[in-house]
Amino acid sequence: MKTFIKAIPKAELHLHIEGTLEPEMMMAMGKRNSVPLPYPDAASVRKAYAFDDLQSFLDIYYNATSVLLHEQDFYDLTTAYLKKAAAQNVRHAEIFFDPQTHTSREGIAFSTVTKGIHRALQDGEKQFGITTKLFLCILRHLSEKEGLETLEQALDYKNIIAGIGLDSSELGNPPNKFKELYKRANKEGFLTVAHAGEEGHADYIWQALNTLHVARIDHGVRCMEDEKLVEKLVASKVPLTVCPLSNVKLHIFPSMKKHNLKKMLDRGLLVTVNSDDPAYFGGYINENYMAVQQALNLDRQDIIQFAVNSFNASFLPQETRQRYLDEIKTFVQHAHEKTDRDN
C-alpha cells in the first residue's frame, strides 16, 4: 500500500508555502539574511513544534517567516517544496501564500513575495512538470480594511494570482467579517476559497458558502456536525481540502484513528487529502495519505478515490484535469496487472 500511495498521481490543494519552511532552511536563511532566531539549531526548532492549538502554531509560524526577506528567499522556499512534491508524484498544486505576513515587515514589498514565488512556479513546471495555481490568503485576524488594501495590491498581479483564500486564527474571526472583500474579489474574477470548519463550528462553513460565495472549503471537517450542511455539500459537490496530520497535530482530533475523513468519504463528500503546513505537522502529502490509510484501514479504492477527488476538486481546465485523471486510470490498470502477475 505504501508503494501504491507513493506512486499514484495526485494533486495538492491545501498547501501554505510558508508552512514548507523546514528547520534546516529556516536556520540557513536566518544566517544568510542576518536574522536572529531563538533556536541554536534545527533540532531545537523541531522540539518547539508541540502545539496546543491553532494559535500556538501560528505564533511560531509567523516568527519563522521573519527569515524570508528577499525575492530569492521566496524562490528557494517554493522550489524546495516543488522538488519534494514532484518526488511524491504530485502532478498539480494549488498553493497559498500570506503576503500580509511579509509586507507588515519594513522593507518587504508585495512584489518581492509574489515575484519570487511565481518565478519558482514557472521554473518548477519546466523542471518538475507540476502545474500550479497561486492563491493569496487574507489573514482573518486582521481587519477587513487591511485585507482590502492587500486585495487592491493583488489586482496588478491577476496574471500571477489565480484566487483569494482566508486563513489564520479562525475562532472569533468568522467568514462574515470579510463579506465586502469577497464581494470585490468575486467581482474582479478571482477564484475564491476559505478556511472554515476547522476550529470554527459548522456555521462558519455556511457563512463561507452563503456570504462569501466560495467555490471550495479548506478543512471543513466540522461539516459532519450539521446534516443539512452535509446534504448541501454533497448535492453541490463543494470540495473540502482536509489536512489529516495538521488536524491531529492541532488537536482538532485526539488521534488519527478518531479522524472523520473516512466517514466524510463514505458520505459522498468531495473530500481531498492535503498537507497544510508540512514542515510543522510531520509530513507532506504522501505521509498524510499513509497516516490515514493505516489509522482508518483504507483500501486501494479509497486511495484511488482521494486521488481522483484531488483533480476533480481543483481549478484546472477540464482538458488538463482529464489528462491527469487518465494518468490515474493508467496507473491503476498497471498496478492491478502487476498484482495479478505477482499472485
User: Which residue numbers belong to the known binding site?
Assistant: 14, 16, 195, 276-277
- For residue 171 the three cell numbers come to 475562532
Residue 198 annotated in active site: yes
Report whether 26 contacts 64 (CB < 8 A).
Answer: yes
The catalytically annotated residue of 125, 198, 231, 337 is: 198
Report how far residue 217's alpha carbon sits from residue 233's, in angstroms, rounded to the nearest whole number.
10
Report how far residue 96's alpha carbon sits from residue 207's, in angstroms, rounded to the nearest whole number.
21
Report how far residue 112's alpha carbon sits from residue 154's, in angstroms, rounded to the nearest whole number.
13
Q: Is the dihedral of CA 17, 207, 248, 48 positive or negative?
A: positive
DSSP-derived secondary structure letter, 242: E
What's the order of all strands across the beta sheet hosting 90-97? 10-16, 90-97, 131-139, 161-167, 191-196, 216-219, 240-242, 271-273
- For residue 343 the three cell numbers come to 499472485
Identify the helix (H) or strand (E) that includes residue 130: none
Question: CB count, 10 Å around CB of 131?
Answer: 19
Burial of 163 (0-12, 13-18, 19+ CB in 10 A): buried
Burial of 195 (0-12, 13-18, 19+ CB in 10 A): buried
Q: What are residue 41's phi and psi, to 5 degrees?
A: -160, 175
Report whether 132 contacts 54 (CB < 8 A).
Answer: no
Burial of 57 (0-12, 13-18, 19+ CB in 10 A): buried
Report whether 139 contacts 175 (CB < 8 A).
Answer: no
3-class DSSP assignment, residue 292: helix
Report how far residue 21's alpha carbon sits from residue 280's, in angstroms, rounded to the nearest whole number.
8
Q: Which residues are catalytic?
A: 198
